[in-house]
Amino acid sequence: MRALLQRVSHASVSVGGEVVGRCGPGLMILVCAMRGDGEAQADRLAARVARLRIFRDDAGKMNRSLLDTGGGALVVSQFTLAADTSRGNRPGFSAAAAPEDGERLYERFAQSLAAEGVAVETGRFGADMQVELCNDGPVTIWIDA
């Protein structure tokens, strides 16, 4: 699985003008299941994200995790993270999991992250979504699991 994490002061995702998920201080997480991924990758990614030390401590150093800060997470599916731009001008997405697998693993990731103790809200898989966020730092981290 692949995830793009953005440390945020707040974030929200809307579908058709209706906010379907939001978080305050924490992480905006764009997640993509890749071909061949399974539940183990979703669980491992969730555990890594929950413990990744990218939040400031009292000394201003990135030394605290999402669990340490009590921050929330907004998890949004994004198959375009699987884009292959190595040939031509049109990206290919054949490395992304099939939609039914992608949805299952996206939901598994969100559930696993919540089981780690993180307050999780989500977008709507496969929907045309509008995402708003305020990147804090900015801090943006790419993770493959």
**Helices marked H in 33-139:** 39-51, 66-69, 99-115
109 a catalytic residue: no
Which pair of structure tokens corresponds to residue 127? 């929907």
Q: Which of 6, 41, 55, 78 is catalytic?
A: 78
Which pair of structure tokens corresponds to residue 85? 């731009």
**Helices marked H in the chain:** 39-51, 66-69, 99-115
Rounded to a whole number, what is the distance in angstroms from the first to the last CA of the chain?
5
140 a catalytic residue: no
Which pair of structure tokens corresponds to residue 71? 């921050």
Q: Residue 11: helix, strand or coil by DSSP? A: strand
Q: Which of 6, 79, 109, 122 is catalytic?
A: 79
122 a catalytic residue: no
Q: Which of 80, 93, 130, 140 is catalytic?
A: 80
**Catalytic residue set:** 78-80
